Amino acid sequence: MTIQVGDTLPSVNLTMMTAEGPKPISLNELSAGKKVVLFAVPGAFTPTCSAQHLPGFIERSKEIKEKGVDLIACVSVNDPFVMKAWGEDRNVGEDVMMLSDGNGEFTAAIGLEMDGSGFGLGTRSQRYAMIIDDGAVSVLNVEQGPGLDVSSADTVLEQL
């Protein structure tokens, strides 16, 4: 079943690359008492994700945080090494936390998987953006097709 507005995030860890190597990250812990914008992409280094989705959140990160957001995070069903390299390639810096859902466990737990096998990608995440308030989903924007209509940084900024 797909996560809905009002639902609490599942207790499934993601992974972040640190100086010491891959580190498990709990979104429940990260979002406790905080406002978090989490957006997901089907794949690092893919065209729309690299040219529009991630760059939009980097460019608008200051404005988003000025609206009371404590953390902006990007998740993808890619390994943490790829997420780190993609973040470096896109000059993410401290603006967006790059999180790996390498096995797709978080994506499956929230019911937002997509079948990308027709493109050689296997099971991936649908493109979406959500606003999380103290561990609960307050806004959920899931793209219904290709492109970037409802999950962009501009749309999220309007909803804060």
pLDDT tens digit sequence for 53-109: 999 999 999 999 999 999 999 999 999 999 999 999 999 999 999 999 999 999 999
| 1 pLDDT more than 90 | no
Residue 17: inside a domain, yes or no? Answer: no
CATH number of the domain bearing residue 76: 3.40.30.10
Residue 119: count other Cβ atoms within 10 Å of its Cβ. Answer: 11
Report the catalytic residues: 49
| pTM reported for the whole predicted model | 0.94
* CA triple 98-24-69, angle to 5 deg: 45
Q: How many domains are there within the chain?
A: 1
Q: Specify if 3 maps to a domain.
A: no
Residues 6+ apart with CB under 8 A from 101: 14, 15, 75, 76, 77, 78, 107, 125
Enclosing domain of residue 31: 27-159
